[in-house]
Amino acid sequence: MQYGLQFVNNSNSVVVDSEFARLCVIENGRYSPNVTNGYGALVTFARVVTSQNPPLVFVRPDTVTGVAQLGGMRVIGGPGNWTGFYVSTYNTIGFPPNGKYFVGSFGGQSVASYGMRLWDSNAQVLFDSGTVCASFTRSFQNWTYLFYELGPQGEYRNFYSVDFNFPAGEYLLINNFGMNMCSGGPVSRALYNWWDFSANKLYAVTIAYANPYAFYLPAVFAKIAV
Amino acid sequence: MAYGMRVWGADGALQLDENSFTVRVILSTPVTFVNAKSSQDFPVPGVGPANGAAIVIPLGEYDANQKQFETEMLDGVARVYNHTRGFASSTVATGTMLLIVMRFN
């Protein structure tokens, strides 16, 4: 880097600079059951995300005395105008969807009336005091297989987990918990994240009749405050 | 704090400090598979399992019948599959998704 700003942390990693786009928090708030008979949450962003590519959505369900079960995620909107997202629960018996979210994109948006704003050499906003970078906390290449259960219609529910014991303020990326996965048959593999607050265990759950044990889904966690 | 930078939000909460790590985007590109069971490699020099992640996400709304691809982060390469690797009878996914390779440090 020849000119501009570079901020290095105590571990000698670059945290912010005027060269590269980083994941910035465009907006954060709460999701709550408001559609699909109270088992779906449709969030409309107060601040539209103007990136060309879909934004990344991270969630942190409220603690319940049991298991919060989320899936069916989809981002709403189109390039330059992402307006919200939808997430739903596994079924109509469990806890309705309540929790916190944040939505991020690579690069900031010009929203602050004071503070600091950084642009790259193409005049793209990289940082803005109103859309500060998210902090990386942990990531896993894939989840570890634990066990399976048979569902009421003979479907296999496979349970996988990662090392995560619900530290305060950490959110899970959920864009990849929407579209089904390949299975071994005509019914594709549905995918959920189950937050078992009672057992202090975060599961990825796959559901299909021909449900392989093999499962390769990255898990990415981040937070929005130190 | 001996040196560095801290950022606070409008609510007074500290958002970034001298111990924070951020998420830098290395590659963001659409990936398309048409039919045959296969994989595609994307070079990402300097990124590997120890410092990055490769994910695929839908490019917005999607058809309920669409199936997602899968990724593998290798040293210097992000590999995208249109099937479940290591599972011979896996079905095959087609269509276009967005590959994002991120780096954490």
**Chain segment A20-74, per-residue pLDDT in tens:** 999 999 999 999 999 989 999 999 999 999 999 999 999 999 999 999 999 999 9
- The string of pLDDT tens digits covering residues A5-15 is 999 999 999 99
Residues of B in contact with A130 (CB under 8 A): 10
0.90 surpassed by pTM? yes
Closest CA to A163 of A204, A215, A116: A204
A188 → closest Cβ in B58, B62, B67: B67
Q: Do B55 and A176 touch (CB under 8 A)?
A: yes
Q: Is the pLDDT of residue A209 over 90?
A: yes
DSSP state of A145: E
- The string of pLDDT tens digits covering residues B36-85 is 999 999 999 999 999 999 999 999 889 889 999 999 999 999 999 999 99
Q: How do beta strands A156-161 and B14-16 pair?
A: unpaired
Q: Is the pLDDT of residue B3 over 80?
A: no
Q: How far apart, in whole angstroms, are the C-alpha atoms of residue A59 and residue A28?
A: 10
Residues of B in contact with A183 (CB under 8 A): 84, 90-91
Residues of B in contact with A8 (CB under 8 A): 4
Q: Do B49 and A141 touch (CB under 8 A)?
A: yes
B3 Cβ under 8 Å from any chain A Cβ: no
A52 Cβ under 8 Å from any chain B Cβ: no
CA neighbours closer than 13 Å in the CB half-sphere of residue B61: 7
Q: Do A176 and B85 touch (CB under 8 A)?
A: no
N-terminal to C-terminal alpha carbon distance within chain B? 21
User: How many angstroms separate the CA of residue B37 from the nearest CA in chain A?
Assistant: 11
Q: How far apart, in whole angstroms, are the C-alpha atoms of residue B8 and residue A24?
A: 14
> So what's the pLDDT on residue B1?
63
**Chain B, window 40-79: residues with a beta carbon less than 8 angstroms from a chain A beta carbon:** 49, 53-62, 65-68, 70-73
- The string of pLDDT tens digits covering residues A173-190 is 999 999 999 999 999 999
| Joined tokens for residue A212 | 């392989």
> So what's the pLDDT on residue B64?
87
| Joined tokens for residue A95 | 């806890």
A126 Cβ under 8 Å from any chain B Cβ: no
